[in-house]
Structure 1
Amino acid sequence: MLKLEHLSKVYRGGKKAVDDLNLDIKKGEFIVFIGTSGSGKTTALRMINRMIEPTSGKILINDEDVTKKNPVTLRRSIGYVIQQIGLMPHMTIRDNITLVPRLLKWEKDKKNKTAEDLLKLVNLPESYLDMFPSQLSGGQQQRIGVLRALAANQDLILMDEPFGALDPITRDTLQDLMKDLQQRLGKTVVFVTHDMDEALKLADRICIMHDGQVIQCDTPDNILSNPANQFVKEFIGSHRLVQEKPSAKLVDEVMITPVTISLEKSLDEAIRTMVQKRVDTLFVVDGQNILKGFIDVESITSERHRTQSVADAMDKDVFYVKNETKLQDTVRRILKRNLKNIPVVDADHKLVGLITRAHIVDMVYDTIWGDEDIEEQSTI
């Protein structure tokens, strides 16, 4: 899909920002460039859409040499998301999302439908389309920035530290969103970050750069288990190498069966189920077992005088993970968000399991810190 062949950028004075970069990126891959400041990662990214012109080498998209294309036409065919978001403050969210389709002279109905469909993908209400960027939070604005990159249905999306300025929880949420959209829509993404945890979470392959060269480009698991040299080891950090050794374990291996209730049930039935099953949270599903939300003791207590319906009282904002997610990443999210549990869904959003904070405590100690504890005890 995307090939970089002997790509180099030399600035005045002979400084090589990128030195003979060769990379073959397959359709649907999520590639992350990471490195120290000045390593060449952003220069490499920006040469792909010719925001920076290469000194030498070729950039091939679907076997077409983009260095021979009109730069403006090229940029309109590639999605681009930056940290500063870059939304037009005087334009509505609808107009911001459909900026590139408008430049491509799409019909009005097609543009509007695209904006509406995309907004649904990120769980924002349609009323937001007629609002202005200043009326949205930073995280919401960055969601719109991602949607704008998807609006013209470009196959290739470039992202330059898009979540770097956000708070940790918002950043974590948008990382999940981007990975989900990328997989569902089959987009090819080239992503620049300085955050190793972000790279490990998102990438199909990580390209670690230093002094304009790719030192190692491989899957996260291979890099963690077989760093190419001492520089890579130090860049990753020994604490990650230790932490990620059990990363092959997936949520599927340890999840338990969640207690569920259907949408049409009453709050009285929900209470009876909680008492019978001795739980304080029920996960709400429809007739196809698709996760719709959750209801807990607190929500029942606060909503009981207003409604008798589970559907009306449930919280729809439920944080979940997909099956085949690494357990280590899920544990980190539980701790970061201070969650009691995380439901697990499949590709069709059907509820298939549950990871609880209480359930994983012993497993986490045994898997991650068990050996260390034993060694420490043996020295006492």
Structure 2
Amino acid sequence: MLEIKNVSKIYRGGKKAVANLDLTIQKGEFIAFIGTSGSGKTTAMRMINRMIDPTSGEILLNGNNIQQMNPVTLRRNIGYVIQQIGLLPHMTIRDNITLVPKLLKWSEEDKNKKAEELIQLVDLPLSYLDMYPSQLSGGQQQRIGVIRALAADQDIILMDEPFGALDPITRDTLQDLVKELQVKFNKTFIMVTHDMDEAIKLADRIVIMSHGEVIQLDTPDNILSHPANDFVRDFIGENRLIQARPNVRSVDEAMIKPITITAEKSINEAIELMRDRRVDTLFIVDNQNVMLGHVDIEDLLVSHKKFQSLSQIMRTNTYAVQSGVMLQDTVRTILKRNIRIIPVVDHKRRIVGVVTRAHLVDIVYDTIWGTEED
């Protein structure tokens, strides 16, 4: 547990960067600091690993005052991910990942085992461990930056605008990855961001700051439903109306029944099913309803004379969302990637529904204007 008790930071000239910050962060919680430039959000986070020391107040880590700890030792036990990634260019990916374990005197066997375990978590091949950062794309480098922060099994991970330099699609994918890893390993993540969508998507609680003071500290749902004042209301933005809709929160409440077909069926059978059900996309499943891929009408029309079965032409890189995720996350994905339809799957990747762009339009209309009866 991390306790920030009445902490302030005052610079020369009397400028108060952070004023009387009180915050208790539980193990496994995801906290996002957000605010305008100069709001104090970065200063607040950097005081946690003593990159900046507070002027007053105290910060307790598991009951121990961090001011009484060796700052180098403290930092080795707190992971850190920055926007500039920070990989050392003269070191291999393996050495970059195991940098902190090396400082902590891990054995070669343990370091290599940890590097191989982590790189597979971010869907990169083991051969990348012997490559150098310059040989990887920006998104791949940032994946390495994330898992490097997890390499020494630190309980707290700090993230300083980690996705700001990435393109929208890569950023969206990495956000999903970070949330998945945070839940999987039950780590405490504390992130600084200027992106409200990012904070809403990732955080359990959001700290909105302005001029060094906390304006509102609450869950994303409560902030969206009950902004503290006009500053928060403007910061959220009117375009997030869909997120404040009280009776549609998760994809499960907005999804509709999917149209599925098994992989051994013929292309002609698929065309008949599309015609009967008036859809332009079919999801391919096995006998346990596990999603294998999808085909759309263009795939079938182009391929029906060349191939016989769906397994020969289906697309296997189907983007899906997990049952239970917040609806606003799926809305952002549909808008950013210009996707018409997204399947919803359970933890065994069995398809349980689909969310379509057209159905979301109906929800938005209801949100803004309601029904005639209302």
Report if TM-score (shorter chain) is over 0.5: yes
Q: Could you say which residue in structure 1 is the equivalent of 2:179? A: 179
Q: How does 1:97-116 map to 2 (within 5 A)?
A: 97-116=97-116
TM-score by length of 2: 0.89
Sequence identity (%): 63
Q: Does 1:88 align with 2:85?
A: no
Q: Which residue of 1 aligns with 2:25?
A: 25
- Deviations along 1:52-107, one digit per CA (max 9) or x if unpaired, are 12222221122222221111111111110011100111122222112111222222
> What is the CA deviation profile of residues 170-203 of structure 1, one whole-angstrom value per residue up to 9, with x for unaligned ones?
1122112111221122111111011112112211
Distance 1:129 1:271 in 2: 46
- Displacement, 1:350? 3.3
Distance 1:205 1:33 in 2: 9
Contact 1:248 1:326 in 2 (8 A): no
TM-score (norm 1): 0.87
Aligned to 1:253: 253
Q: Secondary structure of 2:81's partner? A: strand
8 Å contact 2:242–2:364 — kept in the other structure? no
Of 158-167 and 194-203, more deviation after overlay is shown by: 194-203
Match of 1:276 in 2: 273
Q: Secondary structure at the match of 1:177?
A: helix
Deviations 1:182-234 (A, max 9, x none): 11221111110111121122111110111212121001111122222232223
Letter in 1 for 2:269: R
* 2:102 counterpart SS class: helix
Contact 1:7 1:22 in 2 (8 A): yes
Distance 1:225 1:364, change over 3 A: closer
Distance 1:131 1:165, change over 3 A: same
- Judged with a 3 Å threshold, the aligned counterparts in structure 2 of structure 1 residues 157 and 225 are, in CA distance, closer, same or farther, namely same
Counterpart position of 2:53:
53
> Does structure 1 retain, via aligned residues, the 8 Å contact 2:243–2:327?
no
Structure 1: runs of 5+ lacking an equivalent: 375-380
- Alignment match, 1:377: none
Matching residue's letter, 2:44: A
Distance 1:283 1:81 in 2: 37
Aligned length: 368
Aligned to 2:200: 200
The DSSP-based 3-state class of the residue aligned with 1:244 is: helix
Letter in 1 for 2:150: L
Do the aligned partners of 2:266 and 2:308 also contact (CA within 8 Å) in 1?
Answer: no
In the TM superposition, 1:29-40 aligns within 5 A as 29-40=29-40
Alpha-carbon distance change, 103 to 290 in structure 1, aligned in 2, over 3 angstroms: farther
**Contact 2:271 2:300 (C-alpha < 8 Å) held by counterparts:** no
RMSD over aligned Cα atoms: 2.6
Structure 2 residue aligned with 1:71: 71
What does 1:1-380 correspond to in 2, within 5 Å? Answer: 1-240=1-240, 242-246=241-245, 248-249=247-248, 250-261=250-261, 265-266=263-264, 269=266, 271-278=268-275, 279-285=279-285, 289-296=289-296, 313-367=313-367, 369-371=368-370
Residue segments in structure 2 that go unaligned for 5+ positions in a row: none
The one-letter amino acid of 1:72's match is: V
Aligned with 2:245: secondary structure?
Answer: helix
CA distance in 2, matches of 1:56, 1:220: 29
Looking at structure 2, the residues matched to 309 and 66 of structure 1 have their Cα atoms a distance apart, in angstroms, of 63
Aligned-partner Cα distance in 1 for 2:266–2:15: 71
Instruction: Describe the shift of the 1:127–1:276 C-alpha distance in structure 2 as closer, same or farther (beyond 3 A).
Output: same
Contact 1:246 1:328 in 2 (8 A): no
Tell me the distance in 1 between the aligned counterparts of 2:234 and 2:331.
24
After the TM superposition, which of the residue ranges 37-46 and 322-331 deviates more from structure 2? 322-331
Contact 1:161 1:192 in 2 (8 A): yes
